[in-house]
Structure 1
Amino acid sequence: MAIDTITTSRSYMTKQVTSLSKTMAEKTTQLATGKVARTYGGIGNNRLLDLELTQKVGRIESYQQTIVQANLHIETLNLTLERLEDLRIDGKSAIDPNDFELQADGQTRAQATAEILLYEAVNLLNTEVAGHYLYGGSHATEDPVAGLEQILEGTSTQAGLKQVIDEFYQANAGANGNGRLDVSALTTNYIGIVPTDSTFSITEDGAHDFGFDISSVTSGLSNVTVTGPGGLDPDNVDIQFTGQPALGETITLEFTLPPDQTEPVSFSFTASSDGGEDGTFAIGADLEESAGNLRDAINAELEKYTQTTLRAISDEWAADSFFDTFGGAEPMRVDGPPFDSATALVAGGATTVSWYTGENTATDNAREDKSAVIDTNLSVDYGARANETGLVDIVKSLATFISADFSAGTDTDKLYYNDLAQKMRYVLEPDTSDQSGVVNISTEISIAYRTVQNTSDRHDQMRSSYLTTIDEIEGVDNELLAAEILQLQTNIEASYRASSIVYQLSIVDYL
C-alpha cells in the first residue's frame, strides 16, 4: 500500500468521525430542547408559517391578558349590580306609605331602614378594583360618590340636599304658605247694613313654575259669579256672592302642579249647614258670611295641601335638581334669597355639593366610558356611572326620604309622609317600566360579559390549534430521535474502532 493512500484513509476517517460527532451533538441538543433547531432558519420551508403562527399566538396572549382584567371588572360589576337591585327592592318595601311610626330620635322606622340601605348603596357605588372605581366612568381614581353626610348636610361652602330641599319648599309654599297664591280679603258692598254682594279673588303671585297654577273654576253655586281665569300668567279668578247658595251645591277649583304645571289637582267645596266636614263650607247668616266661609275653606285647603302633597312634589323636584347630573348637567338651585318669592332656577354647580365626581362628559351611553379590545376589530364596552338612571334613582329616593322631617308627628306630618313615600316608591319602580334601570344596566353588562367569555373560549381553541401546528413544525419525534442517537452512537463507536486500527499503523508495516 502506498504512503499517500494510508494518509488519505486517515483523513477520510477523521472527517467521518467529526461529522458523526457533530450530528450527534445536534441530535442531543434536539432531544434536550424538544426543538428541531434553535433558529427559524433551521426549520426549513415551514419557517414563514411558523413565524406567522407564533405572532398570532402572541397576539392572542395579549388579548387574553386584557380579558383577564376585563373579566375581573365585569364580574365585580355584575355582583354589585345584583346587590344594588336587591337594595332597590328592599328600599321600595321599606318606604311604606302606611308605616308611620316615629322613633325616639325623631325618625320614622322606615327612614331608619332607608338610611342603612343608602349607606350600603353609596359604598357599592364606590367599589374599586385594582385602582379603578367601577362606577366612576373611564378613568376614576377616587371615590366617585361623596360621603352620605356630605351629600345630606353639605359643607361650610356648599349646600347639601337638605338645604336645597328647604329652599325649593320655600319657593313652592310662598310667603303665605298656600302655594304662591294670594287669597284676598272680602270686598263687600252694602245697602245700609245689609250686604248686597261680597267678592274675593285668588291670584298667582307671579310668572313662574313654583306652587299652584290656576287652571279653571267650575261653579254650581246659585247667586255666585265666577270671573276668570283668563289663561294668563300670573292668572287670577274672582268669586262674587250676590246672594245665598243652596245646600248641597258645589264649586270646584282646578290647579296644576310644579315643576311643569301639567299634573292637575282639584278641590271641591259643597255648601252645608255647618261646614264641619272636609270639602264643605257653611252657609252663613248672610251672603258676606257665606263668602267668607268659602274663602276660609279654600285657603285652609290650599295651606293643608301645600304642607303635604305640594311639599312632597317640591322635595322630589329639589332632589331631581340636586341629583340629575348625568352627561355634564349642573345641579339647579332656587334663585334666592329670598326664596319664597323666587321666580326662577339658577345653575348651582359652584355652590352645591357635587354628590357624583366621576366621569361626567356629555354622552348618551355610559358603557362607552370603559372599553377593552379583546380581539382583532372586536371590543366590549362596560363603563358605568353612578349618576345613571337606575343607579341615581336608588340614591335619590332614599336620600330624599330620610331628609324629610316628620318629627312633630302631627296629622299633617302623616299626610306628608304618605305623599312623599308614594312618590319615592314610584322613583324606585315606575309603573310604566317593565324592569328597573338597574336591571337595564345589568343586562348590558351581562352582554359584554358573555361576549368576553365567548371570545376567551375561541382564543383558547385557536391558541391550542396554533401551538399544535407550531410544535409539529418546530418539535421532534422523541422516539425516532432516540433511535437515531443510538444508531449514531453505534456508528461513532465503529468509526473510532476503525480509526484506532488505522492510526496504529507505522511506516514499518508498509515496508
Structure 2
Amino acid sequence: MIVNKTMFPVQTGFSVISQMQQQLSDMQMQLGTGQKASTLAGMGRDLPMSLSVRSRLDKIEGYKGNIDIIDLRLSFLDKSMTRFDGIESEARTAVTTGDYGTNDINMATLPGLSLARLDEVVTMLNQDVAGRYLFGGNVTDKPPVQTTDVLLNGEGGRLGYRQILSERLAADQGTDKMGRLSLPAVVAGSGAVHLAEDGTHPFGYKLSTISTNGAPAIAVTQAAGTPKDLSVTFSAEPTPGQHVIIGLTLPDGSETQVTLTATTDAIPGDGAFTIDADPDVMAANFRTALETSLKQKSGGELQAASTFAAANDFFDDNGVPKRPAGGPPATSLVDADPNDVVFWYAGQTSADPRASVAAKVDDATTAKYGIQATESGLLKLVRTQAALAVTQYPVEADVRAKPSIEQIRLDAMALPDDATRVAKLEEYEAAVSAGYRQSRELFDGMASRQQKAMSEGHNSEAGSIERITMDLSVATMASHSATERHTNYKNQLENLLTNVETVSQNDTAMAILALQTRLQASYQVTAAVSKLSLSNYM
C-alpha cells in the first residue's frame, strides 16, 4: 500500500501563492507606469468609461485640427479684407469731381494709380494659403480671377476689357457721336426741332424728360411709347434767359440734362442759342446748339457712363461677360463666347457665398467663411479701378496736339496776317477749349461714378466689404468660442480619464508591502506544512 508523503493540500497552497505573485507583478507594473492595466482587457469594469472618454478626446482633437486650419485662413482673410477696405478708402479720396490738380496732375496720374490699385486687388484675390485659393467659393484649386494684363488686354486672341469697352463706346456714341439720337434738319415753315432715339436697344442716350419756361413762344412735346421722340416748336421770340431742358438717361442708368438758353448774342456761348424773329432760323439755331451739346457730352459724361456700363458688362457678377452684338451700330447685348472673350472669373457663383466653404468646429457649430470675388464690394473695386485704369484724360497740351485741332492752327497760320487768320485762330482756340472742357467733363463723370460706387452708403449692402468682414468676424468668434469650450472640456475629460485609468502611487506601494508580507507568510507556512507526513510519526 502506498502512503502519501504529506497530508497537506500543497497544490492548493501553490495556487494561492501563484495568484498573489501575479497580483504582486500587476501592482509592480502599476507602480512603475501609474496605469491600472497595460491592456484594454485589464481595465475590467472601467473599460466602457475609458473607451468613451478617449473617443470624445479624439473627436476634440479633430475639431481642434479644423480650428487651426480655419484660424489660419481667417487670419489671412481678415488681413485681406482690411486691405480691401483701405483700397476702397484710397480710391474714394484719390479723385473727386473738379479736383484736377495743379497743371491737371490728377488727370494725368489717375490712370496709372488706378491700374496699380487694380493690380493689387487682383493679386490679393488670387493669393493662396497653403495651396488653397480663398476668393472663389468652393473652387479652391485654381486662381479665381485672371491676371490684370489678361483682364484688360485679353489673351490668345480672346478680347479683354479694353476691346469690349471700345465696342460698347462705339455702340453708345454712334457713328455721328450723337449718342444714338437722330436730329433731322428743320423742315421749312415748321419752326420745329425733332429729336428721337434710333431704336429699341440698351445703347446711347434715352430721352427721359423735356421742359421749358419759355411758353407760349416755345412749345415742347414728348410722344409716348418706345423708341421715344420729342419736339421743340418756336412760334415767337422767347425772352433772353428762357430755356429748354432735355433730360437724358445714360447707358449706366444715371441721369443728365442738356440745357439750352435763349440769347441775343450773335455768337452764342456754350449751351445757348440765338433768338431770331424767323421761327425756322431760331429752330435751326436751337438745333445747332443741341447738336453741339450732345456731341460735347458724348465725349464727356456719355463716355464715362459707357465706360462704367462696359465694366458692368465685362465684369458680370455671374462671371460671363456680355458684349454688343448686331449692327453696326450694335442693337443688343449678348453673352460672350469663351473662345472670343476672356472670362474674368473662374470661381463659384453661389447665392450664399459664406456657406460655400464651411467647417464644423464642434458638434453643433459650423464656421462659414466662403468668399467669392463676384460679391458686390469686391466687384465694385475691380470694376471701378479697371474703368479708371483704361481711360485717359487729355490735358490742354494733349488737346492741342490732336491732329484734327492742330490742323486748324496750321490752316490759320497759312493764311495772310489779317482778320481771316484771326478768325481762324479764334476757331482753333475755341476747339482747344471745347476739347479740354470735354476732357474735364470725362474726368468729372468718372470721378463721380467712382465716388458713388465707393460710397460708405453701400456698407450695409449684402456682399459689401464691411458685411463680408462682419461675417468673417462671426466665423472667427465661433471658432474661438469653440476652442475655449474644447479646452475646458478636454481638461475635464483628462481628469476623468486619470481617475479611471491610473492608480495612486502611495496606495499601490502600501498594497505591495501588504501583499509582500502575506506572500512571505504564505511561503513560510507552505514550506513548513509541506514537510508533514504520516511516515514521520510512525
Cα pair distance change 1:80/1:217, threshold 3 Å: closer
3-state SS, counterpart of residue 267 of structure 1: strand
Comparing 43-52 and 346-355, the one that deviates more: 43-52
Q: Separation in 2 of the partners of 1:286 and 1:379?
A: 79
1:245 aligned residue (238, 242, 247): 238
Q: TM-score, normalised on structure 1?
A: 0.87
1:273-312 residue pairs with structure 2 within 5 A? Answer: 273-284=265-276, 286-312=278-304
1:358 aligned residue (347, 350, 362): 347
Amino acid at match of 1:277: G
Amino acid at match of 2:271: G
Comparing 262-271 and 420-429, the one that deviates more: 262-271
3-state SS, counterpart of residue 187 of structure 1: coil
**Structure 1 partner of 2:508:** 481
Cα pair distance change 1:267/1:431, threshold 3 Å: farther
**Structure 1 partner of 2:468:** 441
Tell whether the 8 Å contact from 1:125 to 1:144 is kept in structure 2 after alignment.
yes
Amino acid at match of 1:461: N
Tell whether the 8 Å contact from 1:115 to 1:398 is kept in structure 2 after alignment.
yes
Tell whether the 8 Å contact from 1:222 to 1:246 is kept in structure 2 after alignment.
no
**Structure 1 partner of 2:495:** 468
Tell me the CA shift for residue 180 of structure 1. 0.9
Q: Separation in 1 of the partners of 2:534 and 2:505?
A: 47
Tell whether the 8 Å contact from 1:223 to 1:244 is kept in structure 2 after alignment.
no
Tell whether the 8 Å contact from 1:122 to 1:147 is kept in structure 2 after alignment.
yes
Amino acid at match of 1:24: L
Tell me the CA shift for residue 7 of structure 1. 6.5
**Structure 1 partner of 2:424:** none
Cα pair distance change 1:248/1:344, threshold 3 Å: same
3-state SS, counterpart of residue 390 of structure 1: helix
Q: Is 1:272 aligned to residue 272 of structure 2?
A: no
**Structure 1 partner of 2:111:** 111
Q: Is 1:416 aligned to residue 442 of structure 2?
A: yes
Tell me the CA shift for residue 505 of structure 1. 9.6
Amino acid at match of 1:334: P
Q: Which runs of 5+ in 1 are unaligned?
A: 190-196
Tell me the CA shift for residue 333 of structure 1. 1.0
**Structure 1 partner of 2:72:** 72
**Structure 1 partner of 2:138:** 138
Q: Separation in 2 of the partners of 1:273 and 1:356?
A: 56
Tell whether the 8 Å contact from 2:6 to 2:534 is kept in structure 1 after alignment.
no
Q: Which runs of 5+ in 2 are unaligned?
A: 400-435
Tell me the CA shift for residue 300 of structure 1. 0.7
Cα pair distance change 1:219/1:22, threshold 3 Å: closer
Q: Is 1:256 aligned to residue 244 of structure 2?
A: no
Q: Is 1:319 aligned to residue 345 of structure 2?
A: no
**Structure 2 partner of 1:386:** 373
Tell whether the 8 Å contact from 1:162 to 1:403 is kept in structure 2 after alignment.
yes
Per-residue CA deviations over 1:285-336 (Å, capped at 9, x if unaligned) read 754433322111111111111111111111111111111324xx62211114
Amino acid at match of 1:411: R
Amino acid at match of 2:201: H
Amino acid at match of 2:184: S
Cα pair distance change 1:240/1:18, threshold 3 Å: closer
Tell whether the 8 Å contact from 1:322 to 1:332 is kept in structure 2 after alignment.
yes
1:393-404 residue pairs with structure 2 within 5 A? Answer: 393-404=380-391
Q: Separation in 2 of the partners of 1:219 and 1:444?
A: 51
3-state SS, counterpart of residue 255 of structure 1: strand
Amino acid at match of 1:332: K
Tell whether the 8 Å contact from 1:222 to 1:244 is kept in structure 2 after alignment.
no
Comparing 314-323 and 17-26, the one that deviates more: 17-26
Tell whether the 8 Å contact from 1:95 to 1:114 is kept in structure 2 after alignment.
no
3-state SS, counterpart of residue 374 of structure 1: strand
Q: Separation in 2 of the partners of 1:221 and 1:178?
A: 25
3-state SS, counterpart of residue 241 of structure 2: coil
3-state SS, counterpart of residue 440 of structure 1: helix
Amino acid at match of 2:487: D
Tell whether the 8 Å contact from 2:5 to 2:535 is kept in structure 1 after alignment.
no
Cα pair distance change 1:296/1:386, threshold 3 Å: same
Tell me the CA shift for residue 345 of structure 1. 0.7
2:392 aligned residue (391, 405, 414): 405
Comparing 236-245 and 54-63, the one that deviates more: 236-245
3-state SS, counterpart of residue 379 of structure 1: strand
Tell me the CA shift for residue 275 of structure 1. 4.6
Q: Separation in 2 of the partners of 1:28 and 1:479?
A: 12
1:344 aligned residue (326, 329, 332): 332
Tell me the CA shift for residue 121 of structure 1. 1.3
Q: Separation in 2 of the partners of 1:119 and 1:254?
A: 37
Per-residue CA deviations over 1:67-106 (Å, capped at 9, x if unaligned) read 2222222222112111111111122222343443699999
Identity of aligned residues (%): 24
Tell whether the 8 Å contact from 1:106 to 1:406 is kept in structure 2 after alignment.
no
3-state SS, counterpart of residue 188 of structure 2: strand
3-state SS, counterpart of residue 8 of structure 2: helix
Q: Separation in 2 of the partners of 1:422 and 1:217?
A: 24
Tell whether the 8 Å contact from 2:258 to 2:294 is kept in structure 1 after alignment.
no
Count residues in correspondence: 496
Tell me the CA shift for residue 144 of structure 1. 0.8
Q: CA RMSD in A?
A: 3.1
Amino acid at match of 2:472: I
**Structure 1 partner of 2:483:** 456
3-state SS, counterpart of residue 92 of structure 1: helix
Amino acid at match of 1:255: L
3-state SS, counterpart of residue 46 of structure 1: helix
Amino acid at match of 2:23: T
Tell whether the 8 Å contact from 2:30 to 2:37 is kept in structure 1 after alignment.
yes
3-state SS, counterpart of residue 465 of structure 1: helix
1:57-68 residue pairs with structure 2 within 5 A? Answer: 57-68=57-68
Amino acid at match of 1:345: L
3-state SS, counterpart of residue 265 of structure 1: strand
Per-residue CA deviations over 1:340-376 (Å, capped at 9, x if unaligned) read x22211111523211111122xx32101111112222
Per-residue CA deviations over 1:153-178 (Å, capped at 9, x if unaligned) read 11233221111112111111112102
**Structure 2 partner of 1:87:** 87
Tell me the CA shift for residue 12 of structure 1. 5.4
Q: Separation in 1 of the partners of 2:106 and 2:96?
A: 17
3-state SS, counterpart of residue 194 of structure 2: strand
Cα pair distance change 1:473/1:389, threshold 3 Å: same
